[in-house]
Every structure is written in C-alpha cells, then in structure tokens.
C-alpha cells in the first residue's frame, strides 16, 4: 500500500480496505529493508502506534521526519556526533502540526550533518545510498527522506532546504521536492544551518501530496517571528491543471546546451530532456520564453551562497559546546572541554565551513566578503523579482544530470557547471517557493526539473508543477534498482 498517494490511501482507510495499523506495520517493515539496503534512517520508531482515521487526509498514515527536526522524547541528532544522544523535550512546530492532523511518524531520516552538505555522505551514521543505484548518492542534505520516499516506505517525509537540500535529492531520487515561501512553515524546532536561508518543506511522489502535506505543516507560529499567516491559502483545494495563459521563462546562460561546448553525454541528454519537457508546457498553453541573465552575476552565485551560509552556520552552531547538552568532553577547563567536543564531534566538511564562516565575518574581511555577498544576494533576488513581473515562474533543469557516483566528489565545484549545479540556491536567497519534479531518465536514472515563483505565489508554482506532472508518466513512481 505504501507506494500509493495520500488521497488513495485515505480512501482505502475510510472504506476499511486497510487499517492504520496495517499501514504502520508495512511502513516499519519497509523501513527495515531500506535501512538494510540504503542506510536511510537514524532511528526507526519500532513502537509507532496506529492512529485514528478521521476526515483528515493525513490521519492514520505513516511518514518520516528528517533528523534535524526536534522531536520530543525521540532521539534527534541532526546526523551529528555532537548530538548523537540528544533527546529533545519539545517538538518542532511543523511536526506538531502534522501530528495534530493525525499523521504517524515512523522514523527519523539521515541527513548530511546539520544539513551542511549535498551528498548524503556526511551523516554520523554513514552514507545514504540511492535506491535506483546503490553505487550512487541521493544528494543531500535530505538524503534519507528522499531515499525512503522513493523506495516506497511511506508517501512523504519532511525535509529542510538551505541551498537545494530538498529539491536536489528529489531530482536524484525521481520524486517531488517542495519548499514553500520562506516563513510559510515555522522553523521553530528545526536545527538551524543558515537562518536566513533555511526552509522547511517536504519530499513526496506527487505534487498533490506535496500540497496536502504543506497545508498541514504551514501556519503562523508565535515561536517564529519570520512565519506569516497563510490560513487563507489552501494549496490542495487550489490545485488545477488549467494553466493556460501562464508564462514561464528559462535562462539561456544556465539551461542552453550551447553554453556547454564540452558537455558530457549525460549533461547533453539532461539539457535536451529539459527542453523537451518545456514543450509539454507549451502543449498546456503555457508561454515559454528564454531570457538572458548577466553571467558575471550568475557566476558569483555559488560564492555568495558559501559566504552567507557559512557565516550564519558558524554562529548558529556556537551553541554546540557539549556543556548543557550533547556528550560532554572531559578536559581540565571549559575551553578545552568545548574544543575537544567540537574537534571530535564535527566532520571535517563542517569544520571547513566554520573556518570559512569565521574568516568572512572577521572585521578585516567582513566588508569584502560578507557584505559584498549580501549585496550580490540582493542583486540576484532583484533580478529574479524582475523576471517574476513578466513570468509566473523561472523553470530550470536540476543539476547537471542524474545522481552522481560516490567516487565523484559532488561538494567540489566544477567551474563549468557550477551555476547549473547551484542555481537552486537563488530560491533560498529570495525565499521563493520552489518545486522539483521528475522529468525523465538518463541511463535508467531519474532527472528533475525545477519551477520557482515569486514569494507568496505558491499556488501558481504548484499548479504549473501539477499540470506539467500530468503530461509525464512519473507521478508516484517507486525506485527500481537498475544497477
């Protein structure tokens, strides 16, 4: 049953064809299989109980929680040794909201340590494997969530997205990844990476399911000053495939094959597939145009992300000292205690980011790096805002092809495809609603397309995705191991 969508599961529950208990048991059984094969979970909640089935679509249906959401009484590690035994005493608002709708959490999923990675290989419990090909990564940081949803453990799992941590793993795993407008879902209880870029969101196998889940997760929260009131916005009820007359654009400098004279076979196919997908939009009556954006501005984007995200991260994670929580280190004085805890607890990748973050904030560097990065962030956001005056969305390919092999280091930037790999981060710079859906296969491995719109235009973005999804056969697809 777990390969089905939410509405179908809900109907089956209502009609008594299946019980919540059966769904929970099936999901737990699959969790163990997926754990065995792909290592997607930090914790499996063996004692998860069935829930009452109400008129709420989510009631009684299992789901997964990324392990950087604080869950009361349940181990919440952020996939880091620094919190390997941390059991919080409060639950993140987004999770409380889901649970209030009767949703049943069955596991906590692996991420790149505190969300600070794009490979799914840096969590303290080991690497997460791609369910389509075990020799490949899921991308990250929501690696475990993407893996489990693609493998059919449950219809959805929560994710978080600071650069592309929901939307890239979704593409690599052949599923849907949606992060709504900044502040639509409260971040209270989400372990922070870079607060001005962090978004909560969800990984599902259909646009409809994404709309149902975010309807339940969202809402203004007195504990998060950046959250806003969206009670008049009904994402699921507003879904329509009628997108005739809407306008989207793609960006030549990112998506046009002519920009990559030395493109690999994979990249060529990926971009061709992307342009083929744009034809589907045209068939739906959506106007598609190609625009040009200054490459100097675009090429600055990856560095801007590194500077801002590392700066905020180094500050956000200064609370991790091992003094009041986390495994306290033994040393002669508090400074050595903190040093030892942090040196032993964090992975090398994170430490590298802390060094960058501290460097760019130092008095003598702050203007040159941090403040300039903020300026370029604003320029990029303004450019996108300008596009949104004419277009309902910017549509771009996700990454430079299908999931990468573990021996390719995805966190090292290839100068030639850097912007193609990293452009989703602009959605975080502006807090824009952004969704990735699968749009084809290359060598039997899924690839994705991304649709990003203006702030508060989540319904438009979802409808474009919903309509486009209906023209392709990938809705509710489950990963089939091909290698």
Min dist CB 302 to other proteins, Å, is 20
Among 79, 165, 206, 227, the one annotated catalytic:
165
Among 141, 142, 206, 400, the one annotated catalytic:
141
Min dist CB 197 to other proteins, Å, is 9
Active site residue 135: no
Conformation bin of residue 476: beta by default, left when phi > 0, alpha when psi is -120 to 50: left
Active site residue 66: yes
Contacts to other proteins by CB under 8 A = 69-70, 76, 78, 83, 86, 88-90, 92, 187-192, 194-196, 222-226, 311-312, 314-315, 317-321, 323-325, 334-335, 338, 358, 361-363, 366, 370
Min dist CB 11 to other proteins, Å, is 35
Q: What is the largest CA-CA distance in the chain?
A: 70
Min dist CB 153 to other proteins, Å, is 24
Active site residue 258: no
Closest among 235, 250, 181, 295 to 390, alpha carbons compared: 250
Distances (CA, A) of 465 to 254, 268, 385: 20, 23, 20
Asked if residue 482 lies in contact with residue 462, where contact means CB atoms within 8 angstroms, the answer is no
Q: What are phi and psi of 110, to 5 degrees?
A: -75, 145
Min dist CB 224 to other proteins, Å, is 5
Min dist CB 401 to other proteins, Å, is 33
Distances (CA, A) of 112 to 70, 128, 166: 16, 9, 12
Beta bridge partners of 129: 137
> Of all helices (H) and strands (E), which one includes residue 376?
helix 372-390
Where b means 16+ CB within 10 Å and e means fewer, 215-236 reads bbbbbebeebeebbebeebebb
- Say whether 159 sits in a helix, a strand or coil: strand
Provide the 8-state DSSP code for 157. Answer: E
CA-based R_g, the chain, Å: 21
- Say whether 377 sits in a helix, a strand or coil: helix
> Of all helices (H) and strands (E), which one includes residue 104?
strand 104-109
Q: 20 or 227: whose CB is closer to other proteins?
A: 227
DSSP for 231-242? Answer: TT--TTTT--S-
| Cα–Cα distance, 93 to 147 (Å, whole number) | 24
Q: How many CA atoms lie within 13 A of 46 on its CB side?
A: 2
Distances (CA, A) of 482 to 123, 149, 338, 369: 25, 17, 46, 44
Q: 212 or 338: whose CB is closer to other proteins?
A: 338
Min dist CB 114 to other proteins, Å, is 9
Q: 154 or 354: whose CB is closer to other proteins?
A: 354
Among 30, 66, 218, 475, the one annotated catalytic:
66
Asked if residue 141 lies in contact with residue 115, where contact means CB atoms within 8 angstroms, the answer is yes
List CB contacts of 433: < 8 A, sequence separation 6 or more. 178, 179, 180, 181, 184, 427, 452, 453, 454, 455, 456, 457, 458, 461, 462
Min dist CB 14 to other proteins, Å, is 35
Q: 260 or 325: whose CB is closer to other proteins?
A: 325
Min dist CB 196 to other proteins, Å, is 4
Q: How many CA atoms lie within 13 A of 410 on its CB side?
A: 28
Residue positions annotated with a catalytic role: 66, 141, 165
């Amino acid at each position: 049953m777990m390969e089905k969508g939410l509405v179908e599961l809900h109907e089956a529950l209502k009609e008594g064809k299946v019980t919540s208990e059966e769904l929970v048991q099936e999901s737990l059984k699959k969790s163990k299989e997926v754990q065995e094969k792909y290592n997607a979970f930090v914790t499996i909640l063996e004692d998860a109980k069935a829930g009452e089935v109400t008129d709420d679509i989510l009631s009684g249906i299992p789901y997964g929680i990324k392990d950087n959401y604080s869950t009361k009484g349940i181990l919440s590690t952020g996939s880091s040794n620094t919190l390997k035994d941390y059991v919080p005493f409060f639950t993140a608002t987004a999770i409380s909201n889901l649970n209030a709708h009767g949703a049943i959490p069955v596991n906590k999923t692996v991420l790149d340590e505190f969300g600070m990675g794009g490979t799914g290989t840096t969590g303290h419990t080991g690497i997460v494997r791609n369910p389509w090909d075990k020799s490949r990564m899921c991308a990250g940081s929501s690696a475990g969530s993407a893996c489990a949803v693609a493998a059919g453990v449950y219809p959805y799992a929560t994710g978080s997205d600071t650069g592309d941590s929901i939307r890239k793993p979704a593409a690599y795993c052949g599923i849907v990844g949606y992060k709504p407008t900044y502040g639509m879902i409260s971040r209270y209880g989400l372990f922070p990476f870079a607060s001005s870029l962090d978004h909560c969101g969800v990984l599902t196998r259909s646009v409809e399911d994404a709309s149902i889940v975010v309807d339940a997760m969202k809402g203004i929260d007195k504990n998060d000053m950046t959250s806003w009131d969206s009670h008049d916005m009904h994402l699921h009820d507003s879904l329509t495939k009628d997108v005739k007359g809407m306008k989207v654009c793609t960006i030549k400098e990112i998506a046009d094959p002519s920009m990559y004279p030395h493109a690999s076979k994979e990249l060529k196919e990926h971009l061709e597939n992307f342009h083929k997908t744009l034809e589907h939009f045209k068939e739906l009556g959506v106007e598609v145009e190609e625009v040009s954006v200054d490459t100097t501005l675009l090429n600055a984007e990856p560095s801007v992300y590194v500077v801002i995200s590392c700066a905020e991260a180094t500050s956000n994670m200064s609370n991790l000292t091992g003094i009041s929580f986390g495994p306290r280190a033994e040393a002669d004085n508090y400074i050595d205690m903190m040093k030892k805890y942090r040196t032993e607890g964090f992975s090398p990748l994170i430490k590298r980011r802390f060094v960058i973050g501290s460097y760019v904030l130092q008095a003598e560097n702050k203007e040159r790096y941090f403040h300039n990065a903020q300026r370029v962030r604003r320029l990029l956001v303004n450019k996108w805002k300008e596009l949104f005056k004419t277009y309902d969305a910017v549509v771009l390919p996700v990454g430079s092809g299908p999931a990468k092999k573990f021996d390719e280091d995805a966190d090292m930037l290839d100068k030639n495809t850097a912007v193609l790999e990293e452009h989703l981060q602009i959605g975080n710079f502006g807090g824009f609603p952004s969704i990735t859906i699968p749009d084809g296969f290359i060598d039997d491995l899924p690839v994705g397309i991304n649709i990003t719109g203006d702030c508060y235009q989540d319904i438009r973005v979802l409808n474009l995705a919903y309509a486009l999804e209906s023209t392709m056969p990938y809705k509710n697809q489950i990963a089939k191991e091909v290698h």
